[in-house]
C-alpha cells in the first residue's frame, strides 16, 4: 500500500472538480515581488474513502517545508474532499466560500460538478456566514489589540518598519469589508473593488496607522453585527438541498469513473472532463 501522503495526493489530483486561487492575488491585493500563491481545490474521493474504512478529508501541499514562511511564487495548496468543503461552506467559513465567487480567470481546474457548485452559490449563503465573518473579525481585532493570547504576527520585519503587522491588519479590514458585502448583496466581488482596494493596499504599504486600521475595523464590525440580524439572506443555508446534492453527485461521479475505467479496459476512448 502506498504511503498515505502519496495516496492522498493521487486522490486530490484525480478527483478534483474545482481548483482556484484564493490568496492575495485573487483579492487584487498582492504587492509586486512579495506574493506567494494560495490555491484551494475540491475533490470527490473514491467510494472506499466514503463508505469504507479509509478516510480522506483534505490534502495539503506546500512548496516550502512545514513551519517555513512561503516566499515569492511559492505555492500553498489545500484540496478538500467535497463533503468536508460543503460542511465548511454551509457553516459560512469565509475562505472556503471564495471558490464560489472567484472570476473564471482565477480558476485552474473545473468540471461539471464545479460548475454546479458555483451555479448554486446562493444555497450556501445565510446570516450564519455573517456570524462567522464577525467572529473571525473580532478575534483578529482582539489579537491586534493584545486582548487575546498568542502572537498575531510572524512578520517582525513589518513591525520593525511600520510599528505593526500591516499584512495582518489589511487582512482584518478586508474580512470586514467582504462580510458586509456578502450580507448586503449575496455576492463577493473579486478582485476587491475600488475605493476599498486602494485603501487596503495603502494600509498594507504602511500608509495608514494601526489606530486607523482598528477604527475602520470597528466601523465594519458594527455594520456586520447589524446585518447578522437584518440581512435579506436566510437565517440558515439550504442544508437539505446540499445533503441531497452530495449523495447524487457522489453516485454520479463514481458511476462515470467506473464507466471510464471500463471503457479504457475495453479500448474505448473516454473524454476527460
Q: How far apart are CA 58 and CA 247, in angstroms?
A: 19
Q: Which three cell numbers stand for residue 268?
A: 474505448
Write down the pLDDT at residue 190: 97
Domain boundaries, the chain: 1-123+238-273, 125-236
Query: Which parts of the chain fold into alpha helices (H)?
Result: 4-15, 24-27, 82-90, 112-119, 127-144, 156-162, 166-185, 196-204, 210-230, 239-265
Reduce the secondary structure of 26-81 to three states and give it as a string. Answer: HHCCCCCCCCCEEEEEEECCCHHHCCCCCCCCEEEEECCCCCCCCCCCCEEEEEEE
Write down the pLDDT at residue 156: 87
pLDDT in tens, the chain (273 residues): 445 789 999 999 999 999 999 999 999 998 877 667 899 999 999 999 999 989 999 999 987 656 455 555 689 999 999 999 999 999 999 999 999 999 999 999 999 999 999 999 999 999 999 999 999 999 999 999 888 755 556 688 888 889 899 999 999 999 999 999 999 999 999 999 999 999 999 999 999 999 999 999 999 999 999 999 999 999 999 999 999 999 999 999 999 887 766 554 444 333 333
Cβ neighbours of residue 90 closer than 8 Å, sequence gap 6 or more:
124, 128, 237, 239, 242
Q: What is the pLDDT of residues 62-87, one digit of tens each?
A: 876 564 555 556 899 999 999 999 99
Strands 16-21 and 37-43: antiparallel
Tell whether domain 1-123+238-273 is in CATH 3.20.20.70. Answer: no
Strand, helix or coil for residue 18: strand
Amino acid at each position: 500500500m502506498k504511503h498515505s501522503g502519496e495516496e492522498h495526493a493521487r486522490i486530490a489530483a484525480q478527483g478534483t472538480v474545482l481548483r482556484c486561487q484564493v490568496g492575495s492575488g485573487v483579492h487584487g491585493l498582492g504587492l509586486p515581488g512579495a506574493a506567494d500563491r494560495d490555491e484551494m481545490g475540491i475533490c470527490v474521493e473514491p467510494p472506499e474513502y466514503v463508505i469504507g474504512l479509509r478516510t480522506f478529508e483534505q490534502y495539503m501541499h506546500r512548496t516550502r517545508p512545514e513551519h517555513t514562511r512561503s516566499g515569492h511564487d511559492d505555492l500553498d495548496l489545500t484540496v478538500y474532499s467535497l463533503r468536508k468543503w460543503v460542511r465548511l461552506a454551509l457553516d459560512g467559513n469565509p475562505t472556503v466560500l471564495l471558490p464560489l465567487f472567484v472570476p473564471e480567470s482565477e480558476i485552474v481546474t473545473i468540471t461539471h460538478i464545479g460548475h454546479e457548485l458555483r451555479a448554486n452559490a446562493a444555497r450556501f449563503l445565510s446570516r450564519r456566514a455573517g456570524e462567522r465573518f464577525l467572529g473571525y473579525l473580532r478575534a483578529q481585532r482582539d489579537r491586534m489589540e493584545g486582548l487575546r493570547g498568542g502572537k498575531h504576527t510572524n512578520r517582525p520585519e513589518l513591525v520593525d518598519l511600520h510599528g505593526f503587522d500591516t499584512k495582518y491588519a489589511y487582512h482584518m479590514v478586508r474580512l470586514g469589508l467582504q462580510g458586509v458585502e456578502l450580507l448586503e448583496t449575496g455576492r463577493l466581488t473579486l478582485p476587491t473593488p475600488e475605493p476599498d482596494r486602494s485603501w487596503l493596499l495603502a494600509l498594507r504599504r504602511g500608509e495608514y496607522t494601526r489606530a486607523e486600521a482598528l477604527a475602520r475595523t470597528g466601523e465594519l464590525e458594527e455594520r456586520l453585527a447589524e446585518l447578522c440580524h437584518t440581512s435579506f439572506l436566510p437565517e440558515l443555508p439550504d442544508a437539505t438541498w446540499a445533503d441531497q446534492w452530495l449523495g447524487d453527485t457522489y453516485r454520479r461521479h463514481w458511476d462515470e469513473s467506473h464507466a471510464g475505467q471500463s471503457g479504457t479496459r475495453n479500448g474505448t476512448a473516454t473524454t476527460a472532463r
